[in-house]
């Protein structure tokens, strides 16, 4: 009866099984490279949107010649130059991926709403009768709110949902290797 009460040995940590799979299989190494490429691409896209938001905030707070704006410009140029677009997968959508894709679709609908808000702000600013009028300032504020909302939406809703979707897919691939 003492054997039945003994605790079960704990399974090896997940990183050990991944490391063992990398050593054993070339397919596992290829999957690791693909996973790293996907994670790097998502990180670069997040960094691009974050730098665009930082640029917008820095320009509103300090003006165009500010060091924050220059740094954000450098970051956005470097990340935009680093991004490479690959072919889209043609897989069918698994049922367990439906909630994540619903978040992505809602994020894209919100993205469209904020683009329209930014367009309204641009039109108010462009068609204001006098430079410095209330209409022009209102248009400028609406544009800033729209652009910053787009950045926040992408950084904290759309891209994390996309990363979760990619992580789940890669986890399923890792289980079959």
Of residues 88 and 40, the one with the higher pLDDT is 40
Q: Are the CB atoms for 56 and 144 separated by under 8 Å? A: yes
pTM (2 decimals)? 0.56
Q: Are the CB atoms for 8 and 158 separated by under 8 Å? A: no
Question: Band of the pLDDT at 88, cuts 50, 70, 90?
Answer: very low
pLDDT in tens, 99-117: 776 777 777 778 888 888 9
Is 169 exposed, middle or buried (CB count within 10 Å of its CB: 0-12, 13-18, 19+)?
A: middle
Name which of 147, 127, 149 is nearest 136 in CA terms.
127
pLDDT in tens, 121-154: 888 888 888 888 888 889 888 998 988 888 888 8
Q: Which long-range contacts (CB under 8 A, 24 or more apart) does 71-78 make?
A: 75/47, 75/51, 76/48, 76/51, 76/52
User: Minimum mean pLDDT among 15-24, 44-53, 125-134, 156-165: which range?
Assistant: 15-24
Q: How many CB atoms lie within 10 A of CB 56?
A: 18
Q: Quick one: residue 12, left, alpha or beta (phi over 0 = left, psi -120 to 50 = alpha)?
A: beta
């Amino acid at each position: 009866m003492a054997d039945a009460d003994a605790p079960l040995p704990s399974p090896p940590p997940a990183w050990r099984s991944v490391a063992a799979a990398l050593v054993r299989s070339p397919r596992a190494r290829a999957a690791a490279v693909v996973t790293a490429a996907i994670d790097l691409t998502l990180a670069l896209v997040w960094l691009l949107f974050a730098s665009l938001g930082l640029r917008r905030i820095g320009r509103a707070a300090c003006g165009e010649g500010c060091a924050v704006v220059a740094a954000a410009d450098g970051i956005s140029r470097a990340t935009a130059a680093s991004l490479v677009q690959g072919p889209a997968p043609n897989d069918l959508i698994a049922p367990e991926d439906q909630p994540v894709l619903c978040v992505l679709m809602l994020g894209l609908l919100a993205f469209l709403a904020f683009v329209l808000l930014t367009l309204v702000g641009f039109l108010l600013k462009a068609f204001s009768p006098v430079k410095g009028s209330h209409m022009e300032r209102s248009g400028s504020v609406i544009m800033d709110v729209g652009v910053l909302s787009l950045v926040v939406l992408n950084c904290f809703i759309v891209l994390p949902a996309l990363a979760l979707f990619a992580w789940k897919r890669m986890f399923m691939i890792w289980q079959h290797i």
